[in-house]
Amino acid sequence: MKVVVLDALTFGETDLSGFDVFGEVDVYQTTSANQTLERITDADVIVTNKVVIDEEHMSGCKNLKLISIAATGMNNVDLEAAKKHGIEVKNVAGYSTDSVIQHTFSMLFYLIGHSKYYDDVVKSGDYSRSAIFTDVSQPFFEVKGKKWGIIGLGTIGRGVATIARAFGAEVCYYSTSGKNATTDFTQLELEDLLKTCEIISIHAPLNEQTQNLLDYNQLQMLQDNAVVLNLGRGGIINEEAVAKIIDERELSFGLDVLTKEPMLENHPLLAVKNKERLYVSPHIAWTSIEARDSLIALTIQNIQTLQK
């Protein structure tokens, strides 16, 4: 069996030697659109994280039996074409749940605790020259007693909700699909959630219901000093609206995902004046060491099903 790994760079230093049991393995760190077909022509299995595999690619691969997506999202593969050609497509779910939950709180505490400011105060020497033992110029609030709204109460959203409650937050949620219902937390309509919550975190997929869910008009509903975190998908929040409102009102945003990744060089978020209210991480919430190890292990398991 020939296995072709198309974008190994997305896995970092993760050990990929487990693929060797299948036979011939070609590992490419990155693969551009014009390199894809040439690299997969003789493959029995393709492993891709974000490299697009479409009808043209499948038509040119006579041995292809499986497209193994090393991710949860499957929008980079033409699923209808795969069905037409009798090619299996498998993804991996649940491997990064704990990692994303942890990064949600990392982003929150970075923003509300003014971590960058206080780190700079000490390292610049300003604290050494202080007349008093402390610095209370950037006040922070406690999570306890605050209302935390979850948009998308799936596995990750529920995990965040459970920990938020442990901190003493009052947790509510909005179901983007309209299908999720639970008695564990209070369900609200989106407008009510936006108007009443001090902390809002997004853990929903990108689809017709969530595309541009939070635009400028929705963000205007937020109360002063609210914090909004997007760890779902880029496109759920209108990033131009964020760039505008962050310089107009006392609001803070943490974004791990963007509509276009990597970030555009002229992105409006790079021009905001109130940079201390914005924390953008480069789509890393899923990337703990444990999560990446699990991702590769589960991808290997998906390939093993061909041998049964």
Decide: 118 and 138 in contact? Cβ < 8 Å.
yes
Q: What would the two tokens of residue 289 be?
A: 């060491």
Instruction: Name, in order, each residue with C-beta under 8 angstroms of 194's C-beta and a sequence gap of 6 or more.
Output: 149, 200, 214, 218, 219, 221, 222
Closest CA to 200 of 100, 269, 104: 104
- Exposed / middle / buried, residue 124 (Cβ in 10 Å: 0-12, 13-18, 19+): exposed
Decide: 67 and 87 in contact? Cβ < 8 Å.
yes
Catalytic member of 39, 57, 203, 233: 233
Report the side by side order of strands in the sheet with 199-202: 186-187, 170-174, 147-151, 199-202, 227-230, 252-255, 278-280
Catalytic, 283? Answer yes
Look at strands 199-202 and 186-187 and give their pairing: unpaired
Catalytic member of 142, 248, 261, 290: 261
Q: Which residue numbers are catalytic?
A: 233, 261, 283
